[in-house]
Amino acid sequence: MTKRKILILVAALAVVAGVVVAQYTPWLYWTFLPKEQIDEIVGEASGETALSTIIDINGYNRDRLSAEYAGPFVETQVILNRLKQYGIAAELVKYPAANELWDGVKGELWEMKPRHQKLASMRDMVPMLASGSQPTDVTADLVWVGRGTPAEIDAAKVEGKIAVTEGSLAAVHNYACNQKGALGVIGIAISRPYFDSLQMPWAGIGGRRGGGGGQRGAAPGQPPAAAAQPPQQPAQPQPKPKFGFQLPVREGDFLKQRLMTNEKITVHAVVESKQEKYNNEDIVALIPGTDPNAGEIIFSAHLFEGFTKFGANDNTSGSATILEVARLLNTCFQEGRLPKPKRTIRFLWGPEIGGTGMWVKANKAIMDKTLCNINMDMVGEWLSKNQAFMCLMRTTFGNAHYINDVMENYYRYVGEGNRERIQNRGDAYKVPLRIVAPFGADEPFWYSIETHYGASDHEVFNDWGVRVPGVMMIAWPDRWYHTSGDLPDKSDATQLKRAAAIGAAGAYTVATADDNMAVKIAGEIASNAARRLGHYLVVGLETLNKATDKTLLDAFKEARGYVEGGMLNEKDTLDSILQLATDKAGVGAYVAQMKKSVEATGAAHLATLQAHMEAMAKKLGAKLVKIEPSELDKKAMKIVPRTTAKMTAEGHQGYQKYLGAVPQDQRLKFPYTGELFTTNELQLLINGKHNVLELKSLLDAQSQRKSTVKGIMNYLQILKLAGLVEF
């Protein structure tokens, strides 16, 4: 077929693809799994069972008593008991913790003069005592410090008093108590005061001793921590913390009004707390596959986020839902309603990121045969109450993998099938695929397929030293996120049922996938690729629309970079399919066809960008621009880096020590800070197939911040010095 015919064919394909995506076919709802199997999974999924697990673990914000720190923690016990009840093999793995945990025993704050009344008590609400608060028994006056800026605190003369603030409790404690002699601090702030004036943050004072335990990534909404950072300075010794109390805004506002009218209020504060030894507890459960050499799929959910904070949604819901996935699949297998899969399905619960990382590091052999990870974090909230969407956070391009499209298939099935379309108004079930829990909401499944976001346990699997592509299922936003209000009354059995069904269907698709399924998935990836590349085309067009005569060349380069980066990612994703194939040659031939179709789609879009550039040049009265590779570009095109065995030899984060060992003077020869979107993603993109210019396209297509060829080349030199990469 001539090049011209291919371009026309593909242009036609793109249009057809556009149509399919834009308006959904109201009569077609499909899944990779056959209808009878998806119906079994959806039917068996019980949102109420997952909700009952949430209530057993986090029915209220519990004061963790001292004896519990010896283990197992209540969360661990509940999951283990249920796995036993379900007849699923499970193991508790303990990792002794290096640090001790803060444990609040008593926290009472009473007004003594002019009134005699209780202001705060840990007995009423556990988060009323800020974690990290140290034993104390003082009577002192309150002083208002407003938002708690240094200027406000200086003006308030807080020495020997207790500061009251509507600013950050930790920041005010740090300045007023650690530097200005205040005895303690009371916070009345919340990030969303006007929505629910009763919710309080799980605030802490004094760094990690505040009940932290385990390590966390950046919280959702915070920028990913992986940007290129200079080596850390040794930690400065911290002054001994004092104490902090939190009041819900509704109650705290009375204190604020009274203090702002200069009322003199004297309070008595009593705090008892202690440090506890503990173990990080990981639970591992297993549904063995029929073929031990066929690989595994692993579910993850953090059961703990520190040991003071609780969260029905974050993340008891994820923990309860992967447990429900285990129960429903195991039940269907035991009852012969679903054929047992050839691949093993594993489940991991533990302290967020830290605990997961310990187990993953200790089980490299299992990780080496694990195909992908499905991480559930905050999946059980009532969507409409939170004005939230159920999101699928795809992997980055560096972990290109079919699991993205497998999960999208089930999100779409539930999302498109659980909304009323006018075309279906004549049907008995106006909602064609009604998936609703008897005790849950009866509402659409607002879903969204998103680009990558970290900050949860999938990042342990996505790590360069592990390379198990991990996606995250997360409902966002959560209006009670990280507050005392994150309780089961905000959870929804329907949402839990749907999340369990989607997780189970996605994992079962991979666990049973044979060559026919591999072909089916590859075909759908090619279709989704057309849609995704279509999006990159319009991003490119918009980049050109914004160009001036001076920036037209750079805009054209950037516009082409989106499509080229997208194409490379789609082809890498298609290559990952071969993992599932027994007949590698046969499936490989089909995958090669699909890659051709991606190339043709991409070529059509690059032709469109060429035409648009010409139109923009005409509009701007500028000359047509032509991309001429520079000397550096020509050199970069010849460099195709690949990783060494050393890079994965020690599993999770094992490569860091080699990176850290590169002498500073060597590092300084190859500056990259500010010239690289993220070092993590560049590491992940190194696969022995992409040259440096392609690495740039793959990085740039994922970020508003663009990387430079020089920055990439320099960072590769450092990886080479560390012995992790060769070229």
Residue 112 three-state SS: strand
First to last CA, the chain: 37
Options 224-232, 310-318, 395-403, 469-477: segment touching Zn ion (CB under 5 A) = 310-318
Task: Describe the strand order of the beta sheet including 389-393 as a list of residue ranges.
Answer: 89-96, 279-287, 344-351, 296-304, 370-376, 470-476, 389-393, 447-450
What's phi and psi for 266, nearest 5 deg?
Answer: -110, 130
Distance between CA atoms of 597 and 603, rounded to whole angstroms?
10
> Which amino acid is it at 577?
I
Least gap, CB of 467 to Zn ion (angstroms) = 23
- For the chain, what is the radius of gyration of the CA atoms? 28
Least gap, CB of 301 to Zn ion (angstroms) = 9
> Which amino acid is it at 363?
N
- Choice from 314, 457, 459, 570 touching Zn ion (CB under 5 A): 314
Least gap, CB of 436 to Zn ion (angstroms) = 26
Options 276-284, 372-380, 593-601, 717-725: segment touching Zn ion (CB under 5 A) = 372-380
Least gap, CB of 297 to Zn ion (angstroms) = 21
Q: Express the helix, strand and coil content of the chain in percent, nearest 5 each.
A: 45, 15, 40
Least gap, CB of 155 to Zn ion (angstroms) = 39
Least gap, CB of 378 to Zn ion (angstroms) = 6
Options 15-23, 93-101, 311-319, 473-481: segment touching Zn ion (CB under 5 A) = 311-319
HEC assignment per residue over 487-503: CHHHECHHHHHHHHHHH
Options 314-322, 436-444, 514-522, 647-655: segment touching Zn ion (CB under 5 A) = 314-322
Options 315-323, 594-602, 618-626, 685-693: segment touching Zn ion (CB under 5 A) = 315-323
> Which amino acid is it at 91?
E
Least gap, CB of 313 to Zn ion (angstroms) = 8
Q: Among residues 44 and 457, whose Cβ is nearest to Zn ion?
A: 457
Q: Among residues 155 and 219, whose Cβ is nearest to Zn ion?
A: 219
Q: Among residues 40 and 381, whose Cβ is nearest to Zn ion?
A: 381
Least gap, CB of 461 to Zn ion (angstroms) = 15
Angle between helices 493-512 and 47-58 (to 10 degrees): 110
Options 273-281, 374-382, 585-593, 599-607: segment touching Zn ion (CB under 5 A) = 374-382
Q: Among residues 138 and 218, whose Cβ is nearest to Zn ion?
A: 218
Least gap, CB of 456 to Zn ion (angstroms) = 6
Least gap, CB of 356 to Zn ion (angstroms) = 12
> Which amino acid is it at 69?
Y
58 binds Zn ion (CB under 5 A): no
Options 111-119, 307-315, 464-472, 620-628: segment touching Zn ion (CB under 5 A) = 307-315
- The DSSP code for 131 is B
Sign of CA dihedral 360, 363, 365, 371: negative
Distance between CA atoms of 689 and 691, rounded to whole angstroms?
7
Long-range contacts from 534-543, C-beta under 8 angstroms, 24+ separation: 534/14, 534/17, 534/18, 534/21, 534/605, 536/562, 536/563, 536/565, 536/566, 536/605, 536/701, 537/562, 537/563, 537/605, 537/608, 537/609, 540/605, 540/609, 540/612, 541/608, 541/609, 541/612
Options 92-100, 272-280, 309-317, 609-617: segment touching Zn ion (CB under 5 A) = 309-317
Q: Which residues pair with 447 in a beta bridge?
A: 390
Q: Among residues 222 and 673, whose Cβ is nearest to Zn ion?
A: 222
CB atoms within 10 A of CB 707: 25
Options 122-130, 155-163, 288-296, 312-320: segment touching Zn ion (CB under 5 A) = 312-320
Check: CB of residue 128 under 8 Å from CB of residue 247: yes
Options 376-384, 391-399, 446-454, 548-556: segment touching Zn ion (CB under 5 A) = 376-384
Q: Among residues 302 and 595, whose Cβ is nearest to Zn ion?
A: 302
Least gap, CB of 453 to Zn ion (angstroms) = 12
Least gap, CB of 389 to Zn ion (angstroms) = 17
Q: Among residues 377 and 492, whose Cβ is nearest to Zn ion?
A: 377
Which helix or strand (DSSP H or E) is residue 189 part of? none
457 binds Zn ion (CB under 5 A): no
681 binds Zn ion (CB under 5 A): no
Q: Among residues 315 and 707, whose Cβ is nearest to Zn ion?
A: 315
Give burial (CB, 10 Å; 0-12/13-18/19+) of 145. Answer: buried
- Choice from 276, 281, 377, 572 touching Zn ion (CB under 5 A): 377
356 binds Zn ion (CB under 5 A): no
Distance between CA atoms of 709 and 699, rounded to whole angstroms?
11
Least gap, CB of 480 to Zn ion (angstroms) = 13
Q: Which tokens go with 475? A: 């409902």
Q: Among residues 315 and 573, whose Cβ is nearest to Zn ion?
A: 315
Size of residue set near Zn ion by CB under 5 A:
3
Least gap, CB of 379 to Zn ion (angstroms) = 10
Residues 6+ apart with CB under 8 A from 14: 530, 534, 601, 604, 605
Q: Among residues 68 and 377, whose Cβ is nearest to Zn ion?
A: 377
Q: Among residues 314 and 700, whose Cβ is nearest to Zn ion?
A: 314
Q: Among residues 315 and 396, whose Cβ is nearest to Zn ion?
A: 315
Give burial (CB, 10 Å; 0-12/13-18/19+) of 669. Answer: exposed
Least gap, CB of 500 to Zn ion (angstroms) = 18
Which segments of 319-469 are extended strands (E)?
344-351, 370-376, 389-393, 447-450
Least gap, CB of 721 to Zn ion (angstroms) = 36
**Residues 163-222 contacting Zn ion, CB under 5 A:** none
Distance of alpha carbon 283 from its chain centroid, rounded? 20
Distance between CA atoms of 182 and 13, rounded to whole angstroms?
70
Least gap, CB of 305 to Zn ion (angstroms) = 6
315 binds Zn ion (CB under 5 A): yes
Q: Among residues 50 and 259, whose Cβ is nearest to Zn ion?
A: 50
Options 369-377, 396-404, 622-630, 660-668: segment touching Zn ion (CB under 5 A) = 369-377
Residue 155 three-state SS: helix
Options 36-44, 306-314, 335-343, 489-497: segment touching Zn ion (CB under 5 A) = 306-314
**Residues 86-125 contacting Zn ion, CB under 5 A:** none
CB atoms within 10 A of CB 229: 9
> How many helices and strands in the chain, by DSSP H and E?
24, 17
Q: Among residues 329 and 473, whose Cβ is nearest to Zn ion?
A: 473
Q: Among residues 356 and 512, whose Cβ is nearest to Zn ion?
A: 356
Q: Among residues 352 and 575, whose Cβ is nearest to Zn ion?
A: 352
Q: Among residues 223 and 237, whose Cβ is nearest to Zn ion?
A: 223
Which chain residues interact with Zn ion by CB under 5 A? Answer: 314-315, 377
